[in-house]
Amino acid sequence: MRSSAFLYPWDVLGDPDAPARLADLGLDGVTLASAYHSTRALTPRHPRTRIVTAPYAAVYYPPSEAHWAGAALRPYPQGWLDSPDAWGEAAEALRAAGLEVASWVVLAHNSRLGGENPDSTVRNAYGDRYPWALCVARPEVVAYCAALAAEAGPRPGAVGTELESCGWYGLAHLHAHDKIGGVPLDGAAQYLMSLCFCDVCAAAYAAAGVPDLAAAVRAALAPVWAGKAERVGGEWGGVEQLLGPELAALTLRYRQERARAVQGACVAAVRAAAGGVAGADFRILLHADPASHRVGANVGVEAEWLLGDVSTGGGGADGLVLPCTGSTATLDAAPRLAGRTLAANLTVVTGMGGDPHAAVPAGADELRLYHAGLASDADLAALRGRLRGAEVQTA
């Protein structure tokens, strides 16, 4: 089974031993961040540093002025690594060690762009803006995501790309020093708190015959804030109980429609930039959840449509990367389509709640391992034994 580990450019730059060490694990490839959100990351084996702080979402290559000319939203280049093309330099070193390199592109999650362009962000039913979440119903956001995917995806030498947050992003997000856990929110409440009511979305709901859906959402959430909401079985069943089946269905139809638009645009843009070749020559995978109402890095998708062939009205993606740490529910729910890849994403960092010894989920075509740069030496040793055949387990 083919395996790839996630990696940041700074895990390689300045550490000449990193490529050989990664290749020695038994990996087939690396999924290397080319466009990534702000973060603070550990570098436990780097010869010069232990903590890297990326203060804002950025691209790790020199963005093209011509590509972004006239764009309402455009990415910022990174300024904390001593390389004009950190992705390219790291990718070249990894390829020299015999590893395939795919790009890792974060799209609708960008706190700096959201903070500077509040009208382009998700606005909840109470009027609060989510600066970390660009609203994918907005034309300027769709254009930005497609343009970023086209530039950050098919970087020179990349064998494919993996698109993260290519769809709706919502409330659930570690942002600054979070203090939002005082009232526990289940999946249903998270969904309602992630509905967008920017002018574009509000107008769409009004056109559908619901001029004040935001008021209905606020009323539905009132018992949640009071601690009196009854829990029901099933996440979507909870949404229907809180909001009512008819309004719940209306919101889902709208959000599915807008998600299809941005996902289709991003896949098409990458395909065109990569030369229009589908499949083995350049693969496009989305980090996804087959429950289409879900939001976040693993966006809710209509999997059969997304993996369907463009010629028959499908989205044209080559596969999905599905979160499988602690549960195989997302993998189990995904359709098996000929020629399409289902990759199981497993956290292998013990300190982040993962397990480098975890069994390979049955039904997975490939593995994605999070995250080779953040793992301890002990985690990497366990991972090496597993990939080299010392441990063979299948769930």
Q: pLDDT band at residue 392, thresholds of 50, 70 and 90? A: very low
Q: E-strand spans in the chain?
A: 2-7, 29-36, 39-42, 51-54, 58-59, 100-106, 121-123, 129-134, 160-164, 283-289, 299-300, 319-323, 341-347, 366-370
Residues 14-46 pLDDT 10s = 999 999 999 999 999 999 999 999 999 999 999
Per-position DSSP letters for 241-276, written without gaps between them: HHH-HHHHHHHHHHHHHHHHHHHHHHHHHHHHHTTS
CB 81 within 8 A of CB 60: yes
Tell me the C-alpha distance between 34 and 205, whole Å: 36
Question: Alpha-carbon distance 334 to 324, whole Å?
Answer: 12
pLDDT, average across residues 144-172? 97
Q: How far apart are CA 268 and CA 317, in angstroms?
A: 9
Distances (CA, A) of 157 to 22, 56, 64, 105, 153: 18, 26, 17, 15, 11
Per-residue pLDDT reduced to its tens digit, 35-86: 999 999 999 999 999 999 999 999 999 999 999 999 999 999 999 999 999 9
Tell how far CA 348 is from the center of its chain.
18
Q: Which residues pair with 33 in a beta bridge?
A: 104
Give the number of other CB atoms < 10 A from CB of residue 298.
Answer: 22
d(CA 133, CA 184): 21
Q: Check residue 126 and report its DSSP letter.
A: T
Place of tokens 């429609």: 257
Average pLDDT, the chain: 95
Instruction: Return the number of other C-beta atoms located less than 10 Å from residue 252's C-beta.
Output: 17
CA distances from 258 to 42, 149, 201, 262 (A): 36, 17, 10, 6
Per residue in 325-353, pLDDT (tens digit) is 999 999 999 999 999 999 999 999 999 99
> Strands, DSSP E only, in 73-138?
100-106, 121-123, 129-134
Give pLDDT, residue 176: 75
pLDDT for the residue numbered 232: 72
User: In DSSP terms, which residues pair with 40 in a beta bridge?
Assistant: 53
CB 394 within 8 A of CB 29: no
Beta strands 299-300 and 160-164: pairing type?
Answer: unpaired
79: left (phi over 0), alpha (psi -120 to 50) or beta: alpha
Domain coordinates in residue numbering, the chain = 2-180+256-387
Query: Any bridge partners for residue 319, and if so which?
Result: 285, 341
174 versus 245: the higher-pLDDT residue is: 245
For residue 341, report the phi and psi dihedrals to the nearest 5 degrees.
-100, 135
Q: Beta-strand (E) ranges in 178-234?
A: none
Q: Which pTM does this prediction carry?
A: 0.96
Pairing status of strand 39-42 against strand 51-54: antiparallel
pLDDT at 371 over 80: yes
pLDDT value of residue 28: 97
CA neighbor of 27 nearest in space, from 119, 84, 102: 102
Are residues 333 and 349 in contact, defined by beta-carbon separation less than 8 angstroms? Answer: no
Q: What number is the average pLDDT over the span 129-157?
A: 98
3-state class percentages of the chain: helix first, strand second, coil last, to nearest 5: 35, 20, 45
- Report the CATH fold assignment for 2-180+256-387: TIM Barrel (3.20.20)
- 395: pLDDT strictly greater than 70: no
**Quick one: what percent of the chain has pLDDT higher than 90?**
91
Which H helix or E strand runs over 382? helix 377-387
Band of the pLDDT at 281, cuts 50, 70, 90? confident
Mean pLDDT, rounded, for 213-221: 98
Rounded to whole angstroms, the Cα distance separating 208 from 361 reads 42
Hey, what's the torsion of the CAs at 232, 233, 236, 241, to 10 degrees?
-20
